[in-house]
Amino acid sequence: MNPVLAELHDKARAVLDPVHYDFFAGGVGDEIVLADNEAAFRRHALLPRVLRGKGNSAEFPVLISPTAFHKLAHPDGELATARAAEGTVLVSSMASTVPIADVVAAATGPVWFQLYLQPDPRVTEALVRRAEQAGCEALVVTVDSPVFGRHRRDIANEFHDLPSGLAAENMRDLAGVAGPRDIEMAAFSWQDVDRLRASTSLPVWLKGVLHPADAVLAVGHGVAGIFVSNHGGRQLDVVPAALDALPAVVKAVGGRVPLVLDGGVRSGGDIALALAMGASSVGIGRPVLWGLAADGEAGVHRVLGVLRDEFEHVLAMCGGELSHDMVVARC
């Protein structure tokens, strides 16, 4: 691992309350998927092309995936993350500890709003209005969480509530409840996606799709794009690594909408592999949390800087091009 990312992770582990460290680091069940998300990158290799000049210099194809409760990591919380994001798209969690309007105000680049559809449609509606009024540029509906994942570390640590003074700020004053309300997980259907799309002019992405048939349905229901994601190994511990689920989704979608791959991306090489396998960009979750916990805005900035620098270096080694024929198994 890049020594800067390793150093930030070590520092985060040292400074965080161990219960909060476990909340950030942990996964569901035996944490098989959590480990496999990273291991999957090690099972693939890139065959670079040579003598192609410098090729194209790509944009930095990285988004900050939504993660909850940044004030558990650092007192500045999501404000620090937003300031550090610069041009990188920040997908701000509905479970942020700073209201979405303040996150957008602190950001210098685009902010998208991650949404868990709520059983009371008035609550969902109010959240969408809040995201629109704040200036968010897209909605990302997380669809892999009909129920909460069972995180053994949190259960063992009896971590159920935020410490006093912290709250999911977007959940205040919604549909007649002064709040903050609890975020509820519930099962929804494609009709609910249609209803959401009809209720807003914002592009609607889905996050947490693994089955290619669902990706095809998502395209049919007019989504703007898809996060191929297993929620960082936090929802179901029998699914494939996110990277292993990607090829079938790429094939099924056939370029009709952009695909973000998230789960286990830790280096410029990982970014390049995901792109070569057909992702349009990648999302990163935990590395951002480690940077934030270690050093607030500056820490997140360093994480993004390292990934950008590594990615550009790998791309230069590959003649500026990444394509599917360049990916082979690492035997």
Ligand X SMILES: Cc1cc2nc3c(=O)[nH]c(=O)nc-3n(C[C@H](O)[C@H](O)[C@H](O)COP(=O)(O)O)c2cc1C
Question: Is residue 24 part of the contact set for ligand X (CB under 6 A)?
Answer: yes
Q: Which of residues 196-225 bind ligand X (CB under 6 A)?
A: 207
Question: Is residue 263 part of the contact set for ligand X (CB under 6 A)?
Answer: yes
Binding residues for ligand 7N5, rule: CB under 6 A, are 68, 95, 183, 231, 234
Segment near ligand X (CB under 6 A); pick from 44-52, 62-70, 157-165, 307-315:
62-70
Angle at 225 between CA 220 and CA 231, to 5 degrees: 110
Question: Is residue 66 part of the contact set for ligand X (CB under 6 A)?
Answer: yes
Question: Is residue 67 part of the contact set for ligand X (CB under 6 A)?
Answer: yes
Least spacing, CB of residue 66 vs ligand 7N5, in Å: 8
How buried is 35 (Cβ within 10 angstroms: 0-12 exposed, 13-18 middle, 19+ buried)?
middle
Question: Is residue 97 part of the contact set for ligand X (CB under 6 A)?
Answer: no
Scored b (16 or more CB within 10 A) or e, 202-239 reads bbbbbbbbbebebbbbbbeeebbbbbbbbbbbbbbbeb
Judged by beta carbon, residue 93 or residue 97, the one nearer ligand X is: 93
207 binds, among ligand 7N5, ligand X, none (CB under 5 to 8 A by kind): ligand X
Judged by beta carbon, residue 21 or residue 250, the one nearer ligand X is: 21
Question: Cα(97)–Cα(83) distance, rounded to whole angstroms?
Answer: 15
Question: Is residue 262 part of the contact set for ligand X (CB under 6 A)?
Answer: yes
Judged by beta carbon, residue 31 or residue 125, the one nearer ligand X is: 31
Query: Is position 151 annotated as part of the catalytic site?
Result: no
Segment near ligand X (CB under 6 A); pick from 60-68, 191-199, 270-278, 299-307:
60-68
Least spacing, CB of residue 114 vs ligand 7N5, in Å: 9
Among 65, 92, 170, 281, binds ligand X (CB under 6 A): 65
24: tokens are: 């950030």
User: Do 327 and 55 form a contact (C-beta atoms < 8 A)?
Assistant: no
Judged by beta carbon, residue 253 or residue 284, the one nearer ligand X is: 284
**DSSP class of 109:** S
Question: Is residue 77 part of the contact set for ligand X (CB under 6 A)?
Answer: no
205 binds, among ligand 7N5, ligand X, none (CB under 5 to 8 A by kind): none
Question: Is residue 92 part of the contact set for ligand X (CB under 6 A)?
Answer: no
Q: Which of residues 128-157 bind ligand X (CB under 6 A)?
A: 142
Judged by beta carbon, residue 153 or residue 195, the one nearer ligand 7N5 is: 153
Q: Exactly one of 9, 74, 231, 301 is catalytic; which is it?
A: 231
User: Do 127 and 170 form a contact (C-beta atoms < 8 A)?
Assistant: yes
**Phi, psi at 90, each rounded to 5°:** -100, 115
User: Do 84 and 155 form a contact (C-beta atoms < 8 A)?
Assistant: no
298: tokens are: 């500056």
User: Do 103 and 78 form a contact (C-beta atoms < 8 A)?
Assistant: yes
183 binds, among ligand X, ligand 7N5, none (CB under 5 to 8 A by kind): ligand 7N5
Judged by beta carbon, residue 263 or residue 299, the one nearer ligand X is: 263
Question: Cα(199)–Cα(194) distance, rounded to whole angstroms?
Answer: 9
DSSP one-letter string for 2-66: -HHHHHHHHHHHHHS-HHHHHHHH--STT-HHHHHHHHHHHTEEE----S-TT-------EEE--
Q: How many CB atoms lie within 10 A of CB 153?
A: 17
Instruction: By CB under 6 A, name the binding residues for ligand X.
Output: 23-24, 37, 65-68, 93, 95, 114, 142, 207, 229, 231-232, 234, 262-265, 284-286
Supply the residues annotated as catalytic.
231
